[in-house]
Structure 1
């Protein structure tokens, strides 16, 4: 028998910091099995999509994004880092030169070293492997994307849902498990991300995964870790800067509300500078090397937009021929002014009153501003505002479903060129099926009025007609891209409505911060 002494309880502050694991987080429970099933279904869907075609298949001389990623593995394997962004006899920048930050180059090197060089060395042979396309190399290339998804995006999605669950004080018991399983499914079964990464062929899952992980870390009070993860996202794809105003506004607003704001800002700045220094270390030996990389990250010569992207510049170019009337310098100024002006209210709101929900809305509004108004926007850029929209799916299920549908529809011409229409239809149907599992009892938003339903229904019916017209009819020779333009204009109109709604919604949030107190220390 013991001495009879009773063990001292832990300090109150320790008890407050400990959060019980939600019941669905434990795989041994039915709810946990449901979350595991959602992840396995998302994995299976990715595998099935990866069996299909990809960007530029069999289309010389430049092929497409698949060839670009393969070529970057070739270059990083056979040339030193100092030449990765420099035009040399071994690295012709006119042929898919690297145009992403150093972390993408390191990722290309790792994938080439671990997957392609050991099992298909001819697929990454210097100069002789251009346009290399075999079933074996395609399988290896697909596995590089799948492994990246499993290592980065899947854990980030689980981390976010876990943090969001605990912050909302729901889901730790059995009553809220359906909502959190549904939220996880909505993030992992994002049809746009799956089709672009595992169909078209890219690695957005890495930069977006780092961003989702950074959001989760900041919501959990681990701001230094969150800043580190977001810096990784920025150093993987420069388009992650779409989220930068939201991170800056939220973190700066929280620092201003603490006892020593200067110290709080300095420690975040140190993390940012240190992370960038490590990522850019091979290029810090001279300013010339740094500028060589930077010049590749800002392709102004491509023009203010690409293809039929559903943003302001491309949609209004039907009336105003921006590229013909104005110089690149003027367009850079116009786009910068419009972007900053549209994102500033959202950023100011977070500086003034930082909160968890406000942060999520700010991420959406900031990325919306960049997509709609910034310079050099591609159809695939809609993935960036779509990610924070999926994180807000429980808060705004109607807006999220609405946005996802038109985001996917806006990429129809791109996916049609890639031969991914079957996958497009299948993922749209799967998304609709899983989306409808969240019934009215679990929705946090008020019921829609008849006018709102009509506002949604009429464009939807028009989009259904456009699907049929685009896939089955050919426009006249005088207007060969008429149907693409109609799709673009419809999607742009819906994006503008959604952007206005989410900006207004952010400013209507209460001033008091939600969740863990703002003074909680980083772990």
Structure 2
């Protein structure tokens, strides 16, 4: 159902409010990602295109797809009016007040794409019947869940990245598919893949859904496929759109003979199984199990510590390592595990298409499956599931419960990104406000509790983890002896919640009784 024109005023107020709120944090702490993007501004502005993916003066080399490099190039044309020195490649770790101001404002300004995408998603929400106050409408709740998302706020506007801009393309693409405008959705997703390749996580959902729901023009009443309904013309049109975007993006580098170099930057498989800061996934649990088995084996004199390979999993470096007791995991193993984890979801939208929301559910399972089993997964990738899940959360009671579990757990897992004392009260207060709104608004929207008692107990356990990791350990002698302990505890505890959310989503997919729909 479309959002009525009277809702325009409250949406504008929400969007303006969140933008002004972000401006308050221009001078807050920023991570090494700030220098990463400053360096990319300098590289794309000061050097010819032929050297972009070869330049290595900084350790933070360009490793995003070509369209994002051109995005940085465009930003650099504005940046030169703030401070020319930020565009010098040799000015490593340069962060003048003008540079900080420009880069912070660039994130806030490009969030306009995200704001527009949220507006489009709100138009797709199925409003509940009967007169309701604006604050109780699903479209209003969705707007708040997305515009004021805690994870996007701390990752982009304190830690520093451009995820809002990128998620704007994702949500716009999802909205187009919900509106059955499949070619527009495919175009937007192709652009997104050429801005940041992490969105390959959800590419299987797009590929199968578009082939099934756009390239097949008819279905039997039972949803089975008749190959005579396959439209080669539609497939050709769809393929032309996607290949055109990739040709525009990678074409110049193919002509220059630099495609292998670009791909090497995009897919650095020589990095280890886990990122320096463990993502809360299956491999975090696997790593800890390996450590526990080593301790037990040595204690019971079943293993000789001197003969064990030294596993380096928590030292804070991006590197390869081997497990001490359990079999070491290779990229091919993670690929197989990921494919197996998403196969039922992808098969579901092929054999039992249920429209745009079935596609969205498959997208979420692909995102979570890749997050849980992927190679060298970054902790921030959890937002790829949390953000789009907001759409289902305002419409479906079971999805609302999954959202509460995943968003609370996933957002808390991002806490170690902000480790300076000044940011402690900020991240605690902002997350509390966002979480309280999520629980109260969704509970009211769906009229009752949304979580099982055991899940409530688990989420309350996060308070104990927070006190231990943010208060007790930093003030204890363990701070220097075991500096990785807070990261380990946070990742392992949050892994349990992410795994449970993944299982909940699959359970809802299996229980789905929607009749097959023709789009």
CA distance in 2, matches of 1:175, 1:360: 28
In the TM superposition, residue 126 of structure 1 has moved relative to its aligned partner by: 3.2
CA contact (8 A) 1:459 1:490 kept: no
In the TM superposition, residue 22 of structure 1 has moved relative to its aligned partner by: 2.8
Q: 2:137 aligns with which of 173, 178, 190?
A: 178
Q: Hey, what does 1:106 align to over in structure 2? A: 70
Partner SS state of residue 338, structure 2: helix
CA distance in 2, matches of 1:40, 1:187: 14
Q: Hey, what does 1:13 align to over in structure 2? A: none
Q: Hey, what does 1:315 align to over in structure 2? A: 285
Q: Hey, what does 1:279 align to over in structure 2? A: 249
Of stretches 214-223 and 417-426 in structure 1, the one that deviates more from structure 2 is: 417-426
- The size of the alignment, in residue pairs, is 469
CA contact (8 A) 1:77 1:109 kept: yes
Q: 1:194 aligns with which of 153, 163, 168?
A: 153
1:442-493 residue CA offsets vs partner (Å, 9 max, x unmatched): 218x755xxx532122212221011111111226255332232121111101
Structure 2 CA distance for partners of 1:83 and 1:260, relative to 1, 3 Å: same
Q: Hey, what does 1:490 align to over in structure 2? A: 493
Q: How does 1:363-442 map to 2 (within 5 A)?
A: 363-394=363-394, 395=396, 396-416=399-419, 420-438=423-441, 440=443, 442=445
Q: 1:203 aligns with which of 162, 174, 178?
A: 162
Q: 1:305 aligns with which of 274, 284, 287?
A: 274
CA distance in 2, matches of 1:388, 1:74: 33
Q: How does 1:255-266 map to 2 (within 5 A)?
A: 255-258=215-218, 259-266=229-236
CA contact (8 A) 1:358 1:509 kept: no
Q: Hey, what does 2:51 align to over in structure 1? A: 83
Structure 2 CA distance for partners of 1:413 and 1:330, relative to 1, 3 Å: closer
CA contact (8 A) 2:177 2:185 kept: yes
1:201-234 residue CA offsets vs partner (Å, 9 max, x unmatched): 1111222111111111111121111111001110
CA contact (8 A) 2:52 2:62 kept: yes
Q: Hey, what does 2:119 align to over in structure 1? A: 158
Partner SS state of residue 93, structure 2: coil
**TM-score by structure 1 length?**
0.84
Stretches of structure 2 lacking an aligned partner (at least 5 in a row): 219-228, 291-310, 314-320
CA contact (8 A) 1:153 1:209 kept: yes
Q: Is 1:324 the equivalent of 2:285?
A: no
Q: How does 1:327-338 map to 2 (within 5 A)?
A: 331-338=330-337
In the TM superposition, residue 432 of structure 1 has moved relative to its aligned partner by: 2.6
Structure 2 CA distance for partners of 1:49 and 1:398, relative to 1, 3 Å: farther
CA distance in 2, matches of 1:194, 1:318: 30
CA distance in 2, matches of 1:341, 1:439: 32
In the TM superposition, residue 266 of structure 1 has moved relative to its aligned partner by: 2.2
Structure 2 CA distance for partners of 1:386 and 1:158, relative to 1, 3 Å: same
Structure 2 CA distance for partners of 1:43 and 1:440, relative to 1, 3 Å: same
Of stretches 351-360 and 43-52 in structure 1, the one that deviates more from structure 2 is: 43-52
Partner SS state of residue 236, structure 1: coil
Q: Is 1:68 the equivalent of 2:27?
A: no
In the TM superposition, residue 250 of structure 1 has moved relative to its aligned partner by: 1.5
CA distance in 1, matches of 2:283, 2:99: 39
Q: Is 1:54 the equivalent of 2:30?
A: yes
Q: Hey, what does 2:3 align to over in structure 1? A: 22
Q: Hey, what does 1:234 align to over in structure 2? A: 193
CA contact (8 A) 2:118 2:146 kept: yes
In the TM superposition, residue 173 of structure 1 has moved relative to its aligned partner by: 7.5
Of stretches 350-359 and 195-204 in structure 1, the one that deviates more from structure 2 is: 350-359
CA distance in 1, matches of 2:436, 2:175: 27
CA distance in 1, matches of 2:381, 2:402: 19
1:51-71 residue CA offsets vs partner (Å, 9 max, x unmatched): 41110xxxxxxxx11000000
**TM-score by structure 2 length?**
0.85
In the TM superposition, residue 387 of structure 1 has moved relative to its aligned partner by: 1.9
Structure 2 CA distance for partners of 1:494 and 1:469, relative to 1, 3 Å: same
Stretches of structure 1 lacking an aligned partner (at least 5 in a row): 1-18, 56-63, 519-523
1:245-277 residue CA offsets vs partner (Å, 9 max, x unmatched): 111121122133533433322221111001111
